[in-house]
């Protein structure tokens, strides 16, 4: 063979071994080494994981809300910065592994990325199977004690961060790239779980209920708030009453207060956005009865 010719590479299998990927994701989620030699991926498999993760979040969030809910479709645009970071750090991990002399053969970047995504999907499924029944049994998350709400929010993110970082460290042979990988993984988890969470469904505070949910006809014919002269004149009094009804602050205790405002109430979109912000403040920061929406 001519020394300038590349050695032939082994042909990749034609299909993805789903059982091997499930086993690998389970091993990563329990802090064990994956069977790299059995893992083969493809663009279709990566796209399927991305789509499956979105559909899982879409369905689980709706199941977690008992009663009418509003769909916030722009949520599909959230969290993609985290995906970009996972792609980047997977490439860096493989590059660092291949640059070290005498290091064992490193997996492909696509395999590392797919395993990170499969691990995330598995953790999401496990958390959902536990959380949804608890929400139906105990009640909405807003009614839980503050410590429980923080635990529900933080523990899955910490699990994902620890397992993903452990996976990357198995690929990266040296300390400095490992530290960098840990920081990037932390940023990716923070973006997906805190800064840009994909929240598709929110409880509908404006739904008309008389023992049953509002009908589609009611929603279609509801004109919203009519801005008459009497309504406008009553605003200062209503604002003062709403603020006065908020619970007072307590000494030496930090409380989050939220005031949301729909500036053009004839258009329902502003009311929906105001409700989304109010729900987010209640769910993520414990504002609860310290929230006032206008």
Q: Which of 92, 88, 175, 163 is nearest to 123 (CA)?
A: 163
- In what helix (H) or strand (E) does residue 259 lie, and over which residues does it extend? strand 258-260
Q: Average pLDDT over the chain, rounded to whole?
A: 81
C-alpha–C-alpha distance, residues 241 and 235, integer Å: 10
Distances (CA, A) of 20 to 14, 92, 115: 14, 24, 11
Tokens representing 138? 């105990």
Task: Give tens-digit pLDDT for 92-121.
Answer: 999 999 887 665 678 999 999 999 999 999
DSSP state of 103: P
CA distance 100 to 176: 13
77-89 average pLDDT score = 94
Identify which of 153, 112, 94 has the alpha carbon closest to the alpha carbon of residue 280: 153
In three-state secondary structure terms, 69 is strand
State pLDDT tens for residues 184-230.
999 999 999 988 888 898 877 655 444 444 444 444 444 455 656 66
Give residue-wise pLDDT tens across range 27-80: 999 999 999 988 999 999 999 999 999 999 999 999 888 888 888 888 898 889
What is the pLDDT confidence band of residue 11, given thresholds at 50, 70 and 90?
very low
Does the pTM surpass 0.85? The reply is no
Decide: helix, strand or coil at residue 70: strand
């Amino acid at each position: 063979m001519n020394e300038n010719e590349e050695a032939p590479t082994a042909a990749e299998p034609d299909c993805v071994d789903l059982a091997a990927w499930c086993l690998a994701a389970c091993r990563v989620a329990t802090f064990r080494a994956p069977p790299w030699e059995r893992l083969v991926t493809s663009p279709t498999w990566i796209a399927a994981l991305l789509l499956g993760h979105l559909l899982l979040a879409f369905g689980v969030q709706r199941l977690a809300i008992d009663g009418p809910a509003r769909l916030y479709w722009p949520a599909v645009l959230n969290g993609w910065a985290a995906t970009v970071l996972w792609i980047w750090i997977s490439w860096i991990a493989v590059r660092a592994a291949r640059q070290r002399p005498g290091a064992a053969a490193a997996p492909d970047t696509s395999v590392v990325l797919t395993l990170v995504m499969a691990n995330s999907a598995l953790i999401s499924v496990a958390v959902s199977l536990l959380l949804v029944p608890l929400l139906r049994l105990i009640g909405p998350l807003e009614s839980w004690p503050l410590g429980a709400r923080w635990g529900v929010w933080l523990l899955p993110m910490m699990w994902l961060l620890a397992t993903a970082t452990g996976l990357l460290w198995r690929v990266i042979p040296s300390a400095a790239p490992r530290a960098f990988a840990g920081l990037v993984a932390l940023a990716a988890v923070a973006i997906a779980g805190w800064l840009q969470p994909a929240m598709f469904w929110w409880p509908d505070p404006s739904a008309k209920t008389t023992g049953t949910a509002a009908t589609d006809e009611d929603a279609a014919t509801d004109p919203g708030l009519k801005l008459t002269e009497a309504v406008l004149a009553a605003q200062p009094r209503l604002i003062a009453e709403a603020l006065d009804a908020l619970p007072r602050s307590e000494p030496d205790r930090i409380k989050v207060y939220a005031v949301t405002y729909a500036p053009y109430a004839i258009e329902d979109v502003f009311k929906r956005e105001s409700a989304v912000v109010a729900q987010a403040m209640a769910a993520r920061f414990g504002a609860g009865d310290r929230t006032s929406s206008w």
